[in-house]
Amino acid sequence: MNTHARPVTRPVAIFRHWRGEGPGYFATFLAARSIPHVLVKVDEGEPVPRDAGQFSGLCFMGGPMSVNDDLPWIPQVLHLIRAAAAADIPVIGHCLGAQLMAKALGGSVTRNPVKEIGWGTVIPQPGTASWMEDLPAFEAFHWHGETFSLPPKALRLLSNTHCENQAFALGPHLGMQCHVEMTEDMIRLWSTGWRKENVPVSASVQSPAQMLEHVKARIANMRPMADHLYTRWIGGLKR
């Protein structure tokens, strides 16, 4: 981050769609850089703002719902993402958030061939140096049963065996199917709902015990990758 740049005065709006999927490390990252942010609690009925221009950027978190569900706030969020994109206000999405971005920007969201739950390697794709700078493959956290297609003109950043589109960039916008925002508390909370997924342990699905094995070290190893992606994203924030 350029420390000589003008400070960000407008907040980043962070949209929470389910109480258990808050901003996690993303909020910690912003606070450490004195970037103001506000939490929009969609899950508690807070209204979706109509004006993207009051924010320096928009961040959309995950959730157990589908972007194809008939929920009243989904069309409002899709409209806000399109408005932000038209105004070059950076948007970032985590899991459901990336699926909302993909749908808003011309892609589609469908069932993934397999559920992906737990830790798994993601691989930077060729031709993504402006975002990835030839970074190595790294282990990220996953919890999804759906996937997105790339919006027109979007660049695939990350992929793996179980899900072709793990992250995309479109101009200043970043959508990630994987979860780089995770904290240990979040992983422990999510693991309590593992049985509700009703899927056996497999190559793409870990048990709670497997998720929590070496969890501190795994999170520490993921942090530099999160820092890199978040740093690249905040470079486009409106000031």
Residue 191, classified by CB atoms within 10 Å of its CB into exposed (0-12), middle (13-18) or buried (19+), is buried
What is the arithmetic mean of pLDDT over 2-9?
67
**Residue 172 confidence class, pLDDT cut points 50, 70, 90:** very high
Residue 105 in contact with residue 82, Cβ under 8 Å? yes
Residue 228 has pLDDT above 50, yes or no: yes
Provide the pLDDT for residue 1.
42
Residue 87 in contact with residue 234, Cβ under 8 Å? no
Residue 157 in contact with residue 125, Cβ under 8 Å? yes
Question: pLDDT tens digits, residue range 8-67?
Answer: 899 999 999 999 999 999 999 999 999 999 999 999 999 999 999 999 999 999 999 999
Q: Report the mean per-residue pLDDT for the chain.
A: 96
CA atoms of 47 and 49, how far apart (whole Å): 6
Residue 221 has pLDDT above 50, yes or no: yes
Question: pLDDT tens digits, residue range 135-165?
Answer: 899 999 999 999 999 999 999 999 999 999 9
List the domain boundaries for the chain.
12-234
Angle between helix axes 25-32 and 215-234 (nearest 10 degrees) is 50
Provide the pLDDT for residue 4.
45
What is the arithmetic mean of pLDDT over 109-113?
98
Residue 231 has pLDDT above 70, yes or no: yes
Compute the half-sphere exposure of residue 182: CA atoms within 13 Å on the CB side of its CA: 31
Provide the pLDDT for residue 130.
86
- Our measurement of the distance from residue 187's CA atom to the centroid of its chain's CA atoms, rounded to an integer in Å, reads 15
Residue 131 has pLDDT above 60, yes or no: yes
Q: Name the fold adopted by 12-234.
A: Rossmann fold (3.40.50)
DSSP structural state of residue 64: S
Residue 18 in contact with residue 43, Cβ under 8 Å? yes
Provide the pLDDT for residue 5.
63
**pTM score above 0.75:** yes
Nearest to 229 by CA among 171, 174, 165: 174
Question: pLDDT tens digits, residue range 178-198?
Answer: 999 999 999 999 999 999 999
